[in-house]
Amino acid sequence: MMKKCAALLFLVLVVAVGVVAGGCGGSEGDTTTSGEAVTTTADAGEETTTTAAAEEEPTGDEPSITRAADLSDTIVLPAGFAMNDAVTVADVEAVVGKTGYVPFPEANSNAAAGSPEGSFLLAGDPASKIRFSVWAKDGQAKYDTGLKFVKNPEEVAADIWDKLIVGDAESGTEVTTLVLRGDVCMRIMWNAEYYGDFDRLDLGARLADMFVAKLFKE
């Protein structure tokens, strides 16, 4: 009796191993792996599951986050716009990662002539000022003139502007970012020492990205 039980148990084990090795009655599903997605195709009669590719994460090397395809060829704001019509406190705070900024008017602003200017600073802290300027016409000439007053310029390339340089202002205490897009020239300036914890190329590119988007994004 014991021998029959042992033989029967052995037979059951053999059958079970055969089923597992045979893939439960069919061939194994094909699995295709690429750099973007993993797709598993099951056998006929069974469900098919596809794992969608995850969106690529930004590498952190991109100079801009605004898409060129989203931008107009010309400034979308009405003629005679003031700087606070384009850039807000929230825009500046989002870039620098600090709160408490307030608008600060600039005496040289001439919005009616297409050259608005305006600044933002932390209340009671003049060194924190970040100044924005626009020349809505004759941009190339304004860019060329502005470039003469920038020392040690470094260029940052991106498809949302034609030219962008970051360098030292003639004063020696400020950093200047000059941007040219079409026939529009933009300038951003800040105190080099106050914002010394920032990489100036990165800060210039991120402020310019925001500035361009606010002026040209439809």
pLDDT for 135-183, tens place per residue? 999 999 999 999 999 999 999 999 999 999 999 999 899 999 999 999 9
Report the 3 state secondary structure along 160-218: CCCEEEEEEECCCCEEEEEEEECCEEEEEEEECCCCCCCCHHHHHHHHHHHHHHHHHEC
Q: How is residue 124 annotated by DSSP?
A: T
pTM: 0.72
Taking the CA atoms of the chain, what radius of gyration do you get in angstroms?
Answer: 31
User: 84: which residues sit within 8 A by CB, 6+ positions away?
Assistant: 103, 118
pLDDT for the residue numbered 21? 42
pLDDT for the residue numbered 194? 98
List the Cα angle 128/134/138 in 5-degree steps: 150
Domains along the chain with CATH numbers: 92-216 (3.40.1000)
The 3-state DSSP class for residue 5 equals helix
The C-alpha atoms of residue 215 and residue 200 are separated, in whole angstroms, by: 22
- The answer to whether the beta carbons of residues 38 and 46 sit under 8 Å apart is no
pLDDT for 98-117, tens place per residue? 999 999 999 999 999 999 99
Alpha-carbon separation of residue 201 from 49, 112, 187 (angstroms):
45, 32, 14
